[in-house]
Amino acid sequence: MEMKFCQSCGMPLTNEVLGTNADGTPNEDYCIYCYKDGKFTQDMTMEQMIEHCAQFTDEINRNSGQNLTVEQMKEQMRQFFPHLKRWKNDIISNEILYILLPDYAAHEIVYLSQAIASDEFALKENPKYVNKAVAPTMEPVKSIGGFRTLPDYSFETMPDDYAALVLIGGFGWSTPVAEQVVPIVKKAIEKGKTVGAICNAASFMAKHGFLNAVKHTGNGLDQLKIWGGENYTNPEGYIHAQAVSDGCIVTANGSATLEFAKELLTLLENDTPERIEMYYQFNKQGFCNLFSIE
Amino acid sequence: MEMKFCQSCGMPLTNEVLGTNADGTPNEDYCIYCYKDGKFTQDMTMEQMIEHCAQFTDEINRNSGQNLTVEQMKEQMRQFFPHLKRWKNDIISNEILYILLPDYAAHEIVYLSQAIASDEFALKENPKYVNKAVAPTMEPVKSIGGFRTLPDYSFETMPDDYAALVLIGGFGWSTPVAEQVVPIVKKAIEKGKTVGAICNAASFMAKHGFLNAVKHTGNGLDQLKIWGGENYTNPEGYIHAQAVSDGCIVTANGSATLEFAKELLTLLENDTPERIEMYYQFNKQGFCNLFSIE
């Protein structure tokens, strides 16, 4: 017979410890410690459950014939728990989706995408996030500079779930194709996803009322007003800074590629604050200003 | 009978005005005013020839039945003369070729390529130069950030002539495929072409002895020495600056994307010095530092 495990705490699930449904019948998925009378006995995250279970490391070692330290036990649970029914829907995609419209401004996302994909020596072997290019169709998209990028997804094939949505500036935001991005951003904000918008993409956000509930910036207040028209009701929320992060939304002007990267990397906890700052300063100040020769 | 034209000044070439070869026989390509005794009567450029011929605008109008102004006549000659035998080898390609190896550092050329392709409003309708991506093969090349760029040329199909060769940094320069770039750079330098090399591409230049005759920079002198080994004989030529332009060669460190762009844009006379400086400062200082709100 196949060994069953509680789909919440991972303990071996024998008939003696089955949880109960609302009508009192046994529940086949969860143990009685986790699930009773049709609901979970405690509201917790996967990580909290791991902490909780790790208290019983000695007992688990005894029963399983292992000899793990508490840290090793937690690590094992971190591998195993995402496969359990209770937690598997919590797994958040690690893809950062970049919306590329024709004539996009390539300089506006290079620092972000490079930091996402690599550490300071570009040797990050298990990056926290993965960059994906999303375009209206699967046809190559040309940057202002004339280079052609192959999309990883089209608007039609892009996944529902992702870690962040980044709208790269450029000249596409004032063209009809930009309208197709409106429902994508709307859904992202409803779901509380991280959304970044730089340069004309910030103006696009103003135009569709997406900046009315957050502090924000863009290519100057005048530009936001012109693009936003009646839909932009939050000029008091404008901050004259290179980049502004508020809640889940990060905005920036077109010269703020490094500040935009810094705010998004911080919000996404891509690295430690110290290392994010180091990356920012290295590129902002430049190697020769930071490191002089004696 | 097909009308023939002097392949130097463009005048109709009848038997009465044929130039002469060294042995006194008639030359079928040039008129006697341009070519005598086997050589050109005057050493001049195509543009000087156009200026010279434009003096005879009235006469040309009379003979051709046209009624052009001097400026219109020059414009017509500028269209026509590049097809003449004497000048057609002088026509310089306006393509800027960017060498992309796998794992290239996209941030290192975005400011350059964007300025090349656009004016401050990105509306340059007749850009002086055109950007083209060159890669080992026609397969897409992945940047460090993970975006895939489609090459315009492979090493095999790239043109012999171009306005400049730009080597983008990244991790490909320490891999075998970089060896294929050696003869390309060698030829470029022999022909006096503008060559830019940033970050690891500057180290690659040191490694193959291409920095021994010029002042230069790179990712620090130590890096150049390590990569260069015995082939790098010019450590005195190293300057600890973000970017260095000497003769036809521009080098920079990996944090110097804006300075690299500035030096190359200046060398290529892509725009006026004032506008190049403005572009640099806008992106270096940032919109909010340059333009405060009252």
Could you report the per-residue pLDDT of A281-290, keeping only the tens digit for each? 999 999 998 8
Q: Pick from A255, A257, A290 the residue to mutate for testing the B interface (most B CBs within 10 Å).
A: A255
B117 to A149: CB separation less than 8 angstroms, yes or no: no
**Is the pLDDT assigned to residue B254 strictly greater than 70?**
yes
pLDDT of residue B123: 58
Structure tokens at B290: 């340059």
| Whether A41 contacts A33, CB under 8 Å | yes
**Is the pLDDT assigned to residue B294 strictly greater than 70?**
no
Which residues are CB-neighbours of B282 under 8 A, at least 6 positions away? A255, B290
Structure tokens at A237: 């929320």
Highest mean pLDDT among A288-292, B5-9, B116-120: B5-9
CA neighbours within 13 Å on the CB side: how many for B75? 5
Catalytic residues of A: 199
Mean pLDDT of all residues in B81-93: 77
pLDDT of residue B23: 94
| Whether A113 contacts A104, CB under 8 Å | no
User: Which of A150, A220, A289 minimises the CB distance to B148?
Assistant: A150
DSSP state of B12: B
B147 to A221: CB separation less than 8 angstroms, yes or no: no
Q: Pick from A94, A100, A107, A224 the residue to mutate for testing the B interface (most B CBs within 10 Å).
A: A107
* Tens digit of each residue's pLDDT (9 = 90 or more) over A25-37: 999 999 999 999 9
Confidence band of B232 (pLDDT split at 50, 70, 90):
very high
Which residues in chain A touch residue B203, judged by CB atoms under 8 angstroms apart?
none
Cα(A82)–Cα(B147) distance, integer angstroms: 29
pLDDT of residue B194: 96
Which chain B residue has its CA at the smallest distance from A105's CA?
Answer: B114
Cα(B57)–Cα(B76) distance, integer angstroms: 11
Confidence band of A44 (pLDDT split at 50, 70, 90):
confident
**Is the pLDDT assigned to residue B75 strictly greater than 70?**
yes
Shortest Cα distance from A163 to chain B (angstroms)?
16
Which chain B residue has its CA at the smallest distance from A222's CA?
Answer: B293
Which residues in chain A touch residue B286, judged by CB atoms under 8 angstroms apart?
242, 253, 255-256, 259
B110 to A110: CB separation less than 8 angstroms, yes or no: yes
Which residues in chain B touch residue A254, judged by CB atoms under 8 angstroms apart?
287
Q: Pick from B288, B289, B291 the residue to mutate for testing the A interface (most A CBs within 10 Å).
A: B288
pLDDT of residue B227: 97
**Is the pLDDT assigned to residue A294 strictly greater than 60?**
no
Query: Which domains does chain B carry?
Result: 15-90 (no CATH), 95-288 (3.40.50.880)
Q: What is the ipTM of this complex?
A: 0.71
Cα(B127)–Cα(B123) distance, integer angstroms: 9
Position with higher pLDDT, B88 vs B100:
B100
pLDDT of residue A63: 86
| Whether A5 contacts A11, CB under 8 Å | yes
Mean pLDDT of all residues in A92-101: 91
Average pLDDT, whole number, for chain A?
92
Highest mean pLDDT among A195-209, B7-21, B50-64, B264-278: A195-209
Nearest to B237, CA basis, from B210, B215, B212 = B215
Which residues in chain B touch residue A124, judged by CB atoms under 8 angstroms apart?
none
Which residues in chain A touch residue B291, judged by CB atoms under 8 angstroms apart?
220
Interface contacts A/B by beta carbons within 8 Å: 132
B287 to A219: CB separation less than 8 angstroms, yes or no: yes
**Is the pLDDT assigned to residue B33 strictly greater than 70?**
yes
pLDDT of residue A92: 67
A144 to B131: CB separation less than 8 angstroms, yes or no: no
Which of A42-46, A226-230, A246-250 is least confident? A42-46
Beta strands in chain A (DSSP E): 18-20, 26-31, 35-36, 39-40, 95-99, 130-135, 141-142, 148-150, 153-154, 164-167, 194-198, 243-246, 249-252
The fraction of chain A above a pLDDT of 90, given in percent, is: 77
**Is the pLDDT assigned to residue B130 strictly greater than 60?**
yes
Mean pLDDT of all residues in A154-183: 95
pLDDT of residue A47: 82
Position with higher pLDDT, A92 vs B200:
B200
* Tens digit of each residue's pLDDT (9 = 90 or more) over B44-62: 888 889 999 999 999 999 9
**Is the pLDDT assigned to residue B125 strictly greater than 80?**
no
A288 to B253: CB separation less than 8 angstroms, yes or no: yes
**Is the pLDDT assigned to residue B238 strictly greater than 90?**
yes
**Is the pLDDT assigned to residue B122 strictly greater than 60?**
no
pLDDT of residue B64: 85
Which residues in chain A touch residue B254, judged by CB atoms under 8 angstroms apart?
287
Cα(B30)–Cα(B46) distance, integer angstroms: 15
pLDDT of residue A91: 62
B144 to A117: CB separation less than 8 angstroms, yes or no: yes
Give the dihedral of Cα atoms A272, A97, B199, A121; nearest 10 deg.
40
Q: What share of chain A is helix, strand, coil (3-state, %, to 5)?
A: 40, 20, 40
B34, B199, B248, B288: the catalytic one is B199
DSSP state of A15: G
Mean pLDDT of all residues in B82-106: 86
B253 to A147: CB separation less than 8 angstroms, yes or no: no
The dihedral through the CA atoms of B189, B192, B193, B198 has a sign that is positive
In three-state form (DSSP H/G/I as H, E/B as E, the rest C), the secondary structure along A137-162 is CCCCEEECCCCEEECCEECCCCCCCC
Position with higher pLDDT, B127 vs B172:
B172
Cα(A275)–Cα(B3) distance, integer angstroms: 73
pLDDT of residue A2: 67
* Tens digit of each residue's pLDDT (9 = 90 or more) over A179-204: 999 999 999 999 899 999 999 999 99
